[in-house]
Chain A
Amino acid sequence: MGAETLDDELQALVGQPVGRGGPSVAPDPVNQPMIRHWAAAFDDRNPVYVDPAAAASSRFGGIVAPPLMLQTWTMPTPTLAGIAGRGGSPVEQDGDTALSVLDRAGYVGTLATNSEFEIVRYLRLGDVVSATTVFASISEEKQTRMGRGRFVTWVTTYTVEPDEVVGRQTFRILKFAPGGTSP
Chain B
Amino acid sequence: MTRPTSAGPAVGDRLPTLTIPVTATLIAAGAIATRDFMPVHHDRDYAAEQGAPDIFMNILSDTGYCSRFLTDWAGPDAMVTRLAIRLGVPVFPGDTLVYTGEVAACSVQGDEDVVEVAFRAATDLGDHVTGTATLTLPRPR
Using a CB–CB cutoff of 8 Å, the interface residues on chain A facing chain B are 34, 37-38, 40-48, 54, 58-59, 66-69, 71-72, 75-78, 80, 83-84, 88-90, 112-119, 122
A80 pairs with B68, CB closer than 8 A: no
Nearest-CB distance from B16 to chain A (Å)?
Answer: 13
Residues on the B chain within 8 Å of A45, using CB: 72
Using a CB–CB cutoff of 8 Å, the interface residues on chain B facing chain A are 26, 29-30, 32-40, 43, 46, 50, 59-68, 71-72, 76-77, 79-87, 138
Nearest-CB distance from B57 to chain A (Å)?
Answer: 11
A66 pairs with B64, CB closer than 8 A: yes
**A116: nearest residue on chain B (CB-CB)?**
B84
Residues on the B chain within 8 Å of A88, using CB: 38-40, 46, 50
**Known pairs A72-B33, A88-B40 / 19 extra A-B pairs, C-beta < 8 Å:** A41-B29, A41-B33, A41-B61, A42-B30, A42-B33, A46-B76, A58-B76, A58-B77, A59-B77, A59-B138, A67-B67, A71-B63, A72-B35, A72-B60, A75-B36, A84-B43, A90-B37, A90-B38, A114-B85
Majority DSSP secondary structure for residues of A touching B: mixed
From the candidates B33, B46, B63, B86, name the one contacting A113 in the complex (CB within 8 A).
B86
Residues on the B chain within 8 Å of A37, using CB: 33
**A113: nearest residue on chain B (CB-CB)?**
B87
A37 to B35, CA, bound (A): 11
